[in-house]
């Protein structure tokens, strides 16, 4: 069946198999939530499914996309535009060019006033 579908899609660029089109709607949701940093448990709570179900969907989508670990999953989500790099927001706010965020661009953190408690 896949062979026939692939043959029929070949002539229509709109139906070309992109990584996004390979995933089910549930796998897409899980990809986005996991790439945002949610655990399987938190993703399951958000979607009202068990953590084991999230784990299974996550394994399926990683297999479909040829990913081996969470880092590759996050990079794929960045490439697909599902999430943004953390530095992009601060650069846009500061009016900086598409360069690295420098320490001088970051707000300084002043120590709190008053006595500091020791953890010892």
Q: Is 114 within a domain? A: no
CA distance 28 to 36: 12
pLDDT at 43: 95
Ranges of H-type helices in 1-120: 2-9, 19-22, 25-35, 40-47, 51-65, 70-80, 86-94
Per-residue pLDDT of the chain (120 residues; tens, 9 = 90+): 555 666 555 655 555 567 788 899 999 999 999 999 999 999 999 999 999 999 999 999 999 999 999 899 999 889 888 888 876 554 444 444 444 444 445 555 555 555 555 555
pLDDT at 101: 46
- The confidence score (pLDDT) of residue 110 equals 52
Number of domains present in the structure of the chain: 1
| Domain interval for residue 64 | 23-81
CATH number at residue 56: 1.10.10.10
- What CA–CA distance (Å, rounded) separates 35 from 26? 14
pLDDT on residue 38? 94
pTM (two decimals) = 0.58
The pLDDT of residue 95 is 44
Kindly state whether residue 110 falls inside one of the protein's structural domains.
Answer: no
């Amino acid at each position: 069946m896949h062979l026939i579908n692939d043959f029929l899609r070949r002539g229509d660029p709109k139906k070309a198999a992109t990584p996004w089109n390979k995933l089910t709607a549930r796998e897409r949701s899980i990809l986005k939530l996991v790439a945002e940093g949610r655990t399987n448990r938190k993703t399951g709570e958000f979607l009202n499914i068990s953590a084991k179900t999230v784990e299974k969907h996550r394994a399926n989508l990683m297999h479909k996309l040829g990913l081996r670990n969470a880092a590759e999953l996050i990079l794929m989500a960045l490439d697909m535009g599902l999430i943004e790099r953390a530095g992009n927001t601060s650069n846009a706010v500061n009016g900086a060019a598409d360069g690295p965020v420098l320490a001088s661009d970051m707000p300084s953190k002043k120590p709190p006033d008053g006595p500091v408690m020791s953890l010892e």
